Chain A
Amino acid sequence: MDTTQLLKGVLDLTVLAVVDGEDAYGYDIVRKLRDSGLTDVGDASVYGTLRRLYAAGALTSYVVPSESGPHRKYYGITPAGQGQLKQQSEDWSHFSTTVTEILQGARA
Chain B
Amino acid sequence: MTSTDAEANVAPEVRLFLAQVRRELADLDPEVLSDITDGLEADFTELVGERGPEALGDPVEYAKELRAAAGIPAGSAAPRGLAERVDGLLDAGHDRFDAAVAKLGELLRTDLGPVVAWLQPLWWIVRAWAAAWLVSAMFGWGVSSAPGVVLLIVAVAVSMFIGTGRVWPGGERGTGARVVLLGLNMFAAFVLFMSWAGGVLGSSAEYDRGWQDGYSEVTGVTGDGEPIGAREGVYSGGKTVTNIYPYDASGKPLTGVQLFDQNGKPIDVAVQPDCTSTVADPLPPAVPDEDGIITELCMDENTGESLQARIFYPWSNGAAQLYNVFPLPSRVQPTMDRDPNAFASDGAPAIQEPPLASVPKASLPGVATSSPSASPSASPSAAEKP
Interface residues of A, Cβ cutoff 8 Å to B: 8, 11, 25-27, 30-31, 42-49, 51-52, 54-55, 63, 65-66, 68-73
Partner among A11, A25, A27, A68 whose Cβ is within 8 Å of the Cβ of B69:
A11
Partner among B6, B50, B67 whose Cβ is within 8 Å of the Cβ of A66:
B6
**A48, B67: Cβ atoms closer than 8 Å:** yes
**A70, B6: Cβ atoms closer than 8 Å:** yes
Given contacts A11-B69, A48-B69, contact A43 B62 (CB under 8 A): yes
**A73, B39: Cβ atoms closer than 8 Å:** yes
Given contacts A68-B9, A70-B6, A71-B6, contact A44 B38 (CB under 8 A): no
List residues of chain B with CB within 8 A of the CB of A70: 3, 6-7, 9-10, 39, 41-42, 45
Given contacts A44-B63, A51-B35, A63-B39, contact A69 B9 (CB under 8 A): yes
Given contacts A51-B70, A69-B10, contact A27 B65 (CB under 8 A): no
CA distance A27 to B63 in the complex (A): 16
List residues of chain A with CB within 8 A of the CB of B44: 27
CB distance from A10 to the nearest CB of B (A): 13
**A44, B71: Cβ atoms closer than 8 Å:** no
CB distance from A20 to the nearest CB of B (A): 19
CA distance A57 to B16 in the complex (A): 31
Partner among B39, B50, B64, B70 whose Cβ is within 8 Å of the Cβ of A26:
B39
Query: 8 Å CB contacts to A: which residues of B46-63?
Result: 46-47, 50, 61-63
**B62, A25: Cβ atoms closer than 8 Å:** no
**A52, B71: Cβ atoms closer than 8 Å:** yes
Given contacts A43-B62, A44-B63, contact A69 B69 (CB under 8 A): no
CA distance A48 to B72 in the complex (A): 9
**B38, A45: Cβ atoms closer than 8 Å:** no
30 contacts between A and B (CB under 8 A): A25-B43, A26-B39, A26-B43, A27-B47, A30-B47, A42-B65, A43-B47, A44-B61, A44-B62, A44-B64, A44-B65, A44-B69, A45-B69, A47-B36, A47-B70, A48-B65, A48-B70, A48-B71, A51-B35, A52-B70, A63-B38, A69-B6, A70-B3, A70-B7, A70-B41, A70-B45, A71-B6, A72-B42, A73-B39, A73-B43
Of the candidates A30, A51, A72, the one having the most CB atoms from chain B within 10 angstroms of its own CB is A51
- Report, nearest first, the 7 A-B pairs whose CB atoms are least far apart: A48-B69, A73-B39, A44-B65, A48-B70, A70-B41, A27-B43, A51-B70
Partner among A26, A45, A66, A68 whose Cβ is within 8 Å of the Cβ of B65:
A45
List residues of chain A with CB within 8 A of the CB of B7: 70
Partner among B10, B36, B50, B61 whose Cβ is within 8 Å of the Cβ of A51:
B36
Given contacts A27-B46, A43-B47, A69-B45, contact A49 B10 (CB under 8 A): no
List residues of chain A with CB within 8 A of the CB of B47: 27, 30, 43
B68 within 8 A of A: yes
CA distance A8 to B70 in the complex (A): 11
CA distance A26 to B67 in the complex (A): 16
| Nearest chain A residue, comparing its CB with the CB of B39 | A73
List residues of chain B with CB within 8 A of the CB of A66: 6, 42
List residues of chain A with CB within 8 A of the CB of B39: 25-26, 63, 70-73
